[in-house]
């Protein structure tokens, strides 16, 4: 009934109360987040999961929370994706707790308060972001999987619920591991290893890496007139070039300071224009062709040319 009252307005609310034969005080009290989930058949697996992880008291507290609630179908998809049974998932309490708390924000955030493209920090500690795709809101989780908010702003006495069609998963790979999993970054990974930068790019950070593709490195080799082996053997040059692609802090696309100098870990700056094209210190240009690839220790943006600092 409360969902009807919210969406049909005050006049219809009065009519509904009158039809019930009493005043507004006769209506049932709005339940907690847990109680709202328990009352909705779509969330029976979620309620089982919360019970298995001993999180029912947390979501029943008086705190003001936001929960992105996966449906039963969302959990069914996750089990198929992970190749496990529900019992196996629920038996791994540490994993289950990490996944469930990744769906919870420490404050009440209505859909109208969501800032598209910004990092959203969860109770679990990891981040995800939400983008407006047409009239829909789409979540990009820590493993760069997509989940759609199918129903927003379900009220509860201690916060709000947003219904999602895919279980969110926190990041489980750092920047280097993420690059290693992408075939089009194979030369970049070779270069990072040759420059002995694996540990630096695997550190907690957070860091932002503008990652050149294999085609970008092929362009560079042709431009410099060297072979890949020659480039990888010049460790001093390689280190300067690679660290010029790294910025301290997690800078998502929505936070890129357009038109302003961006200082790299190497020490020199570059700029990004409104079309997401980088201009380096040699007035060369590189387009950012993909953005916001999340990792445990930062974010990757993909570029189509290697950028170069001044000699």
pLDDT at 1 over 50: no
pLDDT band for 28, please (50, 70, 90 cuts): low
Q: Across-strand partners of 70?
A: 164
pLDDT at 17 over 50: no
Q: How many Cβ atoms are within 10 Å of 20's Cβ, its own excluded?
A: 12
As a whole-number percent, the residues of the chain with pLDDT over 70 amount to: 91
Q: Is the peptide bond before 206 cis (omega within 30 degrees of 0)?
A: yes
Q: Across-strand partners of 210?
A: 301
Query: Cα(first)–Cα(last) distance of the chain, in Å?
Result: 69
Q: What is the mean pLDDT of residues 258-283?
A: 97
pLDDT band for 62, please (50, 70, 90 cuts): confident
Q: What is the mean pLDDT of residues 166-189?
A: 98
pLDDT at 14 over 80: no
pLDDT at 13 over 90: no
pLDDT at 23 over 90: no
Q: What is the mean pLDDT of residues 41-63?
A: 94
**Mean pLDDT, all residues of the chain:** 91
Q: What is the pLDDT, as a whole number, of residue 26?
A: 42
Kindly report which listed range (50-64, 101-115, 210-224) carries the lowest average pLDDT score.
Answer: 50-64
Q: What is the pLDDT, as a whole number, of residue 63?
A: 86
Chain centroid to CA 221: 34
pLDDT at 208 over 80: yes
Q: What is the pLDDT, as a whole number, of residue 223?
A: 96
Tell me the HSE value of 267 on the side-chain side, using a 13 A CA sphere.
4
Between helix 44-52 and helix 93-101 the angle, nearest 10°, is 120
138 CB-contact burial (10 Å; exposed 0-12 / middle 13-18 / buried 19+): middle
pLDDT band for 12, please (50, 70, 90 cuts): very low
Structural domains of the chain, with CATH = 1-27 (no CATH), 31-164 (2.30.180.10), 175-303 (2.30.180.10)
> In angstroms, how far apart are the furthest CA atoms of the chain?
86
* Three-state secondary structure string covering the chain: CHHHHHHHHHHHHHHHHHHCCCCHHHCCCCCCHHHHHHCCHHHHHHHHHHHHCCCHHHHCCCCCEEEEEECHHHHHHHHHHHCCCHHHHHHCHHHHHHHHHCCEECCCCCHHHCCCCCEEECCCCCEEEEEEECCEEEEECCCCCEEEEEEEEEEECCEEEEEECCCCCCCCCCHHHHHHCCHHHHHHHHHHHHCCCHHHHHCCCCEEEEEECHHHHHHHHHHHCCCHHHHHHCHHHHHHHHHCCEEECCCCHHHCCCCCCEECCCCCEEEECCCCEEECCCCCEEEEEEEEEEECCEEEEEECCCCCCCC
Q: Across-strand partners of 278?
A: 272, 286
Q: What is the spatial distance between Cα 131 and Cα 139, in angstroms, rounded to a whole number? A: 6
Q: What is the mean pLDDT of residues 138-164?
A: 97
Q: What is the mean pLDDT of residues 159-179?
A: 98
Q: What is the pLDDT, as a whole number, of residue 22?
A: 38
pLDDT at 37 over 90: yes
pLDDT band for 30, please (50, 70, 90 cuts): confident
pLDDT at 2 over 70: no
pLDDT band for 24, please (50, 70, 90 cuts): very low
Q: What is the mean pLDDT of residues 294-304?
A: 98
Cα–Cα distances (Å) from 73 to 44, 76, 232, in that order, read: 10, 5, 48
Whole-prediction pTM: 0.87
């Amino acid at each position: 009934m409360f969902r009807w009252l919210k969406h049909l307005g005050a006049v219809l609310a009065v009519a509904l109360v009158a039809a019930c034969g009493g005043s507004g005080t006769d209506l049932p009290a709005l339940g907690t987040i847990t109680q709202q989930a328990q009352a909705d058949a779509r969330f029976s697996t979620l309620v089982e999961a919360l019970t298995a992880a001993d999180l029912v008291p947390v979501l029943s507290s008086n705190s003001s929370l936001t929960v992105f609630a996966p449906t039963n179908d969302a959990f069914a998809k996750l089990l198929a994706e992970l190749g496990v049974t529900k019992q196996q998932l629920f038996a791994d309490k540490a994993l289950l707790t990490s996944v469930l708390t990744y769906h919870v924000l420490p404050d009440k955030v209505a859909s109208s308060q969501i800032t598209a493209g910004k990092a959203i920090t969860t109770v679990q500690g990891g981040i995800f972001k939400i983008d407006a795709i047409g009239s829909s809101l789409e979540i990009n989780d820590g493993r760069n999987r997509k989940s759609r908010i199918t129903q927003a702003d379900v009220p509860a006495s201690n916060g709000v619920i947003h219904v999602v069609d895919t279980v969110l998963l926190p990041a489980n790979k750092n920047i280097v591991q993420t690059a290693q999993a992408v075939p089009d970054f194979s030369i970049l990974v070779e270069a990072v290893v040759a420059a002995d930068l694996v540990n630096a790019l695997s550190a907690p950070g957070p860091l932002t890496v503008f990652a050149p593709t294999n085609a970008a490195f092929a362009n560079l080799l042709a431009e410099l007139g060297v072979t890949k082996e020659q480039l990888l053997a010049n460790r001093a040059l390689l280190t300067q070039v690679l660290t010029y692609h790294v910025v301290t802090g997690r800078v998502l696309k929505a936070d890129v300071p357009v038109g302003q100098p961006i200082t790299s870990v190497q020490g020199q700056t570059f700029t990004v224009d409104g079309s997401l094209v980088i201009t380096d210190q040699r007035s060369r240009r590189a387009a950012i062709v993909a953005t916001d690839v999340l990792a445990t220790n930062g974010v990757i943006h993909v570029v189509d040319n290697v950028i170069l600092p001044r000699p």
